[in-house]
Amino acid sequence: MSILDKIQTDGLILDGAMGSMLIAKGLTGTESAEFWNLTRPETIKEIHQSYYLSGADVASANTFGASPLKLDKMGLGEHAENINRAGVRLARQVCPASGFVAGDMGSIPEMLQP
């Protein structure tokens, strides 16, 4: 079933927070949650899997803070593409056939001129 059909037929149930789940798994305030896509991929997959098993139709990739500008602040900007690709790949690896994966993009850490 396509995502549009699913929305029209049943609606979608999205996953919950990633950050608080990562904190429960040991993430500290000095680390990038998104860097765990590369350093602790099994933990990321486990969290996505738990949301799917709880009934979520959609898992948001662990990419909320993975913009190059934000990652630069932690010295990780050069890894932005790999972090984002890994975030989507990990969610897809545990996504059931009837499920979906969404990208997740948060705000950037500075004001830009229009």
pLDDT digits (tens, 9 = 90+) for 1-49: 899 999 999 999 999 999 999 999 999 989 999 999 999 999 999 999 9
Residue 60 in this model has a pLDDT that exceeds 90? yes
Cα(112)–Cα(114) distance, integer angstroms: 6
Amino acid 83: pLDDT: 99
pLDDT, tens digit, 9 for 90 and up, residues 84-97: 999 999 999 999 99
Asked if the model's pLDDT at residue 113 lies above 90, the reply is no
- Worst-scoring range by mean pLDDT, 17-31, 71-85, 99-113? 99-113
Total Cβ atoms within 10 A of residue 24: 9
Confidence of residue 108 (pLDDT cuts 50, 70, 90): confident
Structure tokens at 99: 């499920």
pTM over 0.75, yes/no: yes
